[in-house]
A and B are shown apart, each in its own frame.
Chain A
Amino acid sequence: MPPAIQVTGLAKSYFRDGHEIPVLHNINLNVQQGDFLALMGPSGSGKSTLLNLIAGIDRPTRGEIVVEGAEIGRMSESQLARWRADNVGFIFQFYNLIPVLTAFDNVALPLLLTKLNKAERRKHVETALGIVGLADRMKHYPKQLSGGQEQRVAIARAIVSDPKILVADEPTGDLDRNSAAEILTIIKRLNSEFGKTVIMVTHDPHAAEAAQSVMHLDKGDLIGAAA
């Protein structure tokens, strides 16, 4: 079975005032279907950049990223947008919910890009919110929810269109210990029960323990893997 994510010779540089700032150098990485990978490393090591590249929200300078058989580096902006909508669920550190929308409407946002009718969309949203244990908070606005609950809504939004890959950037970084544990439990469940391939960036070794495998990045290099 081919890997879900295949990264070959990947490099990424940013350009500031005419100067090249290399962030990632010659990254080679395979992530199998149904894996749960934690990416660890100090600030500035390039772990979020790698995650963004795999999720198709940033462009590589060199190298190739093949996700579910698609070479995403060669896609146009609109193709990439469509691909993200179909294949990737993104969980942010700061939840990034739309404050004027209820939990239900926030979760329903990705479904506006699908051909589902209103009843089908409702069913999907209720299922997603049910999975994260917030079926009773559908009409609540983000400001009426705790940080942990907001992150659970964000997870529901990430899974509502049933993507194969979930990427999470410090999903517990803004949460207390108990809420963080709840979030990790949900992510583990999405991986083990629903077969999602998960890549999670974290600083926290405790959070990384939830993953099946851990990889470290330092100064843009993938320096080793630990199971």
Chain B
Amino acid sequence: MRLFRLAFKNAFRHRFRALLTILAMAVALMAFGVLRTVVTAWNVGIDAAQADRLVTRQAVSFIFPLPLAYFDKVREIEGIESVTHSSWFGGIYIDRQNFFARFAIDAETFFEVYPEYMLTPEETENFKKQRNACVVGADIAKQYGFKIGDKITLEGDIYPGTWDFIVAGIYQPKFKSTDATAMVFHWHYLNERVAEDWPTRANLTGWLTAKIADGNRAAEISAQIDDLFRNSAAETKTETENEFARGFIASFGAIFGAMNFVSFTIVAIILLVVANTMLMAARERTREYAVLKTLGFSVGQISALILMESTILSIVGGTLGLGLIAPLIAGLAEAVPKAWFPIFQLEPITVFLLALAVVFIALAAAIFPIRRVARATIVEGIRFAG
């Protein structure tokens, strides 16, 4: 018999209590994992953002448009390879619940600037030549059953009215972090109708995206762009796509800050559950630990015994939690609309944090029982009545 066997037997001495502790730990770790996955899924936009792409928007706010004329002016700046422009369309597809991003884009330049949205040459050709064509991401094509040639009808909200589109292509994401849940269509198709129905809103676009040759020149070129439009009616703010994504996400900072807080609070709760179990166990075994000391076991050896017991409970609970979290996240990824979280998966960093939480809990939960054992004298322990 080795000390580990005694620790193992001790861990499961009260089977029901051990089971409840393990289940509490597994459930809490799963909750922690889901929350962390939501936070990382939300941040995926930052990961997908490119350092060599600049986004130019109105300095006042993202929601105010830019004159289309800016597009041509920005193209002339040295160091910029290509520029495209996009506008948020909004709209409703059948029901408000069917949410996915819809953009009016410049068909000639969009796929040059965003090569991670992959179309076949044939699809690109079809899209460019058809005025009311649209391209949809592979994920929403799968979700709504869109096929090439299908008609998609949107009910406009920002741009009221009924808008019909023909699916000319289904883009494939180049990277894991590429959003495959967007729908893009010709800005000209939008602008024609806007010019007729709301002439003051014509020839405007949401933002410009410029691909630069050298990412190290991002600050310099951004300043050049903004200088170009300084003191105009629509001053601009240009930043890298990465900074832009961070700024956008920061506007939801309170929500995700709260989620972060809750996820770490969960770890603290599990710690309290396991620590409580360990403290109860140590209290019940006060006399046994005193007997072990009498037999010649050192405080260090008894501490190791307690630490092993805490580790066994934490590892069993952690393994169960980790074992269940992968299918849980996979199930949630299926259940949650793709457009909410285009990439919803268990990231290595989440697994690492879970494993770290297990180790932390195992160590921290053993501290108080060890302290108790170290402080108690043998005589006090032997006389302990429980």
Contact = CB atoms under 8 A, between A and B. Distances in A.
Contacts of B293: 57, 81
A77 B378 CA distance: 11
B287 A96 contact: yes
Contacts of A156: none
A138 interface: no
B348 interface: no
B23 to A, nearest CB: 22
A109 B294 CA distance: 11
A84 B294 contact: yes
Interface of A is mostly: helix
> How many B residues are at the interface, by size bracket?
20 to 34
A101 B378 contact: no
A100 B379 contact: no
Contacts of A157: 295
B10 A57 contact: no
Contacts of B294: 55, 57, 84, 90
A92 B300 CA distance: 24
Interface residues of A, number: 25
Contact of B296 (A58, A92, A100, A113): A113
B205 to A, nearest CB: 74
Interface stretch (B1-9, B67-75, B313-321): B1-9
A98 interface: yes
Nearest to B377: A58
A92 B291 CA distance: 9
Contacts of A81: 293, 296-298
Given A90-B294, A108-B1, A58 B378 contact: yes
A85 B5 CA distance: 21
Interface in A88-146: 90, 92, 96, 98-101, 105, 108-110, 112-113
B13 A100 contact: yes
Contacts of A77: 298-299
**Residue in B2, B288, B296 whose Cβ sees the most chain A Cβ within 10 Å:** B296
Interface in A44-87: 52, 55, 57-58, 77-78, 81-82, 84-86
A82 B297 CA distance: 8
Nearest to B298: A81
Given A52-B379, A57-B379, A101-B1, A84 B288 contact: no
B162 to A, nearest CB: 74
Contacts of B332: none
A109 B297 CA distance: 9
Contacts of A92: 291, 382
B19 interface: no
9 contacts: A57-B294, A57-B382, A81-B296, A82-B296, A84-B296, A90-B294, A92-B291, A110-B295, A113-B301
Give the top 5 A-B pairs by smallest Cβ distance, nearest first. Answer: A85-B296, A100-B9, A57-B378, A96-B291, A105-B1
Given A78-B298, A92-B291, 17 more contacts: A55-B294, A58-B377, A78-B300, A81-B298, A82-B296, A84-B294, A85-B295, A85-B296, A90-B294, A96-B288, A98-B6, A100-B13, A101-B6, A101-B9, A108-B1, A110-B296, A112-B3
